[in-house]
Chain A
Amino acid sequence: MNGKHIFGLVMLITLGLFIAFTSVKKNESAEISPDQLNKKIIQQTRYFTPEEVAKFIISEDPSLQLIDVRLPKLYNKFSLKGAMNIPLKNILNEDNLLYLDQDVYKTVFFSNGTSDADVAWILVTRLGYENVYVMKGGLNQWVENILQPSEHSVVWDRIDDQMYQYRKGASEYFGGKSIEATDADVLVKPKKAPIKRKKKEVEGGCE
């Protein structure tokens, strides 16, 4: 063995040892491929119903990030509690992407219907962002289900009844059409834990 051989040996073993302690990773910054995107689009897991969104808002879910993708004019007129306004045409602005490219919050897009929010969802999913969702039916469905829940249904069973009671409760919370709530188990307002402050013991001084 001469010097050339030893150099080659050391190089190979060093590189091999280094790579042995790494793992194959997905390039997260890269855009996802069209067939992966297609798979995600076909899955309906991106949708939250208005009831689910209402539940998040009522329970003051700290991981919720609501994004209104309509124009500012409409946003100022009416929007959901705590929602942020990022109009669809500005969604790819760098400042706005900072809100979306994270995995702490679950981001829920909504617009008047489903389509605009869906477009926003596709754009950011294409960029490989996780934890983004869409409120199915948008604000139209929100008004119909939460703010003005109606009793009319051809088939009415216990599940429907529970749903109706829930909607009524939520409606009251969001200040929609007032309906007398009857059941006690309806979610009305979140109870805030009373803040207890410990009395500080007197410190220091002469003992």
Chain B
Amino acid sequence: MAPIFEQASEWNLMAALFIGIAFGWVLERAGFSTSRKLAGVFYGYDFVVIKVFFTAAITAALGLLFLNYFGVFDFENVWMPTTYVTPTIVGGVIMGLGFVMGGFCPGTSVCAAATGKLDALAFIGGIVLGVVLYTFTYEPLWETLRGKGKLLIEGSDTPGKVKIGELIGVTEGVAVLIFIAFGIFVFWFVEKIKKTYNIKDVEY
């Protein structure tokens, strides 16, 4: 069944528009359009972001596997990026620093700018500046880094595209179960922190 539209069809953009509207609405309702909510994860006074992201990941993983199980969806059609370890770590550090300083991730900054927040507009300006800087320093700084640390697992049918299950040697289903267990542990853990330090839920 999937993809719903043929690849390279002009309807893809229409689908993206509606999915984007829905995504923005959900982000806003989850409270992601305020930098305090996102920065709170790092300072330890708000854990909504962690809970929402784990819920989203678990829902998506279960959804994919169940749709595949009932034959609606072909798992091989899921696009996966190739895994490069070194640039992922470097990029993660840069992204994390931006996250904790700005209080937004690229998606939520656009969402927050739509609600009229000025810090979000500044953040978007920073994104544009970063893109320009990256472009002009691509050849000396980033070009060699990009292809470093490609993760290869022997006997994989999709070389370079690593799934967690493959990495630890279990099937996709078991990997998802482990992930769910980990998610439940995280839910419990953040609730414990909230109780111990008497943190109240706040709406900004």
Residues of A within 8 A of B (CB): 9, 12-13, 15-17, 19-27, 29-30
Digitize B164-190: 1 where CB-to-A-CB distance is under 8 Å, 0 elsewhere: 000000011110110011011000000
**Interface: B66 (CB within 8 A):** yes
Assuming the contacts A19-B62, A30-B74, asked whether A24 and B172 have C-beta atoms less than 8 A apart, the reply is yes
Interface size range on B against A: 20 to 34
Shortest CB-to-CB span from B15 to chain A, Å, is 20
**Cβ B173 vs Cβ A20 within 8 A:** yes
**Interface: B12 (CB within 8 A):** no
Residues in B whose Cβ lies below 8 Å from that of A29: 71
**Cβ B69 vs Cβ A22 within 8 A:** yes
Residues in B whose Cβ lies below 8 Å from that of A25: 68-69, 75
Residues in A whose Cβ lies below 8 Å from that of B171: 20, 23-24
**Interface: B58 (CB within 8 A):** yes
Shortest CB-to-CB span from A39 to chain B, Å, is 13
Residues in A whose Cβ lies below 8 Å from that of B173: 19-24
Chief secondary structure at chain B's binding surface: helix
Digitize B15-33: 1 where CB-to-A-CB distance is under 8 Å, 0 elsewhere: 0000000000000000000
Residues in A whose Cβ lies below 8 Å from that of B73: 27
Closest 4 CB pairs of A and B: A20-B177, A16-B180, A16-B177, A20-B173
Shortest CB-to-CB span from B160 to chain A, Å, is 17
Question: In the complex, what residue of chain A is closest to B72 when comparing beta carbons?
Answer: A27
Choose among A16, A23, A30 the residue that contacts B62 (Cβ–Cβ < 8 A).
Answer: A16
Roughly how many angstroms separate A33 CA and B19 CA in the complex, as a whole number? Answer: 26
**Interface: B65 (CB within 8 A):** yes
Choose among B65, B71, B74, B76 the residue that contacts A19 (Cβ–Cβ < 8 A).
Answer: B65
Question: In the complex, what residue of chain B is closest to A21 when comparing beta carbons?
Answer: B173
